[in-house]
Structure 1
Amino acid sequence: MSAPEPAPARMAALPSWLLTQSALHAHRLVSEGLADVGARGYHYRLLATLAEFGPASQNTLGRRSGIHASDLVATINELADGDCVRREPDPGDRRRNVISLTTAGRRRLRRLDTALARVQDRVCAPLSAEERGELTRLLRTLLAHHTAEQDPGPE
């Protein structure tokens, strides 16, 4: 396989272009790393959300994890088939389900954390520990800024 052609200098000087290109590579590496352990990114997002916030309705889980409703049910089904999550009727509203993390789900999340730690090492390989910390801080700042721009707040 030949080396990719260099980008035009004016593109390579744009932070937005650099972020996009880096995100594409990171997404590919994350997908491959999770696939190596029989998982998908949605599995990690759902398990991590349940671990941090506790049991929740499907609607709440979708909002917290950023998983669209059309993908959420399939993800819950896959994790339930692996005994990683439990789906039970909400005692306050029997029409709604509450999803909770099982012991097997906690173990699965720890394995996915390990797999993703290896991926992070690949993604950030040329950076020192200090540079990785600074990059994470800067990316959080950008994300917080743009997330706040999208949130209209109370009306």
Structure 2
Amino acid sequence: MSSSDGPGPELSRNLVYLLKHAHLRMAELAANAVKPYGIDGRELGILLALTGREPASQQQAARRLGIDRTTMVAMLDALEGKGLVSRHPHAEDRRRNVVELTEAGRATLRLAIDANDKAEREFLEPLTPKTAEHLRNSLQKLVLPSDD
């Protein structure tokens, strides 16, 4: 690759450019890692949002992920078609649909988490463990709401 093929000094320091390309690279590694389990990165995100908590409504899951309601319904339809989630009316509020992982969904999630973790390690490999943890912590501060 010649020097004219790279992003150049202006772009190589531009945060939007760097974040975009870091995201694209990590998303590609993650997608390839979870593909053997019949899901993609967005579906992994939904499965993660649904696990470890009491059964969530479709709307709660959509809010956690920042996904609009229509997109969430379509994605849950796909996951339900794959047998990974089930939906049923809430016991106290029949207007709400509760979404839960099925046994197959929990098994798929376990395998996909391991594969995704391996992809993350590959992505972060150029960094020292301390620097990688600092990056993760810094991104959490920028992206996640503060508890203050």
TM category (shorter chain) comes to 0.7 to 0.9
Which range is displaced more, 81-90 or 128-137? 81-90
Q: Deviations over 1:23-71 (max 9, x none)?
A: 1211222222222332112221121111132211111111112232222
Q: Which residue pairs with 2:60 in the alignment? A: 60
Deviation at 1:125, TM superposition (A): 1.8
Q: Which residue pairs with 2:90 in the alignment? A: 90
**1:4-83, aligned counterparts within 5 Å?**
5-83=5-83
What is the identity, as a one-letter code, of the residue corresponding to 1:23?
A: H
Deviation at 1:92, TM superposition (A): 2.0
Structure 1: tracts of 5 or more residues without a match: 149-155
Q: Which residue pairs with 1:119 in the alignment? A: 119
Asked if 1 retains the 8 angstrom alpha-carbon contact of 2:27 and 2:41, the reply is no
Asked if 2 retains the 8 angstrom alpha-carbon contact of 1:42 and 1:67, the reply is no
Secondary structure of the corresponding residue to residue 142 of structure 2: helix
Asked if 2 retains the 8 angstrom alpha-carbon contact of 1:54 and 1:101, the reply is no
TM-score (normalised: structure 1): 0.81
Deviation at 1:16, TM superposition (A): 3.0
TM-score (normalised: structure 2): 0.84
Structure 2: tracts of 5 or more residues without a match: none
Asked if 2 retains the 8 angstrom alpha-carbon contact of 1:55 and 1:100, the reply is yes
Please say if 1:100 is aligned against 2:100: yes
Count of aligned pairs between the two proteins = 145
Distance between the aligned counterparts of 1:44 and 1:132, measured in 2?
Answer: 22
Distance between the aligned counterparts of 1:54 and 1:47, measured in 2?
Answer: 13
State the Cα RMSD in Å: 2.1
What is the identity, as a one-letter code, of the residue corresponding to 1:68?
A: D
Q: Which runs of 4+ in 1 moved over 4 A?
A: none
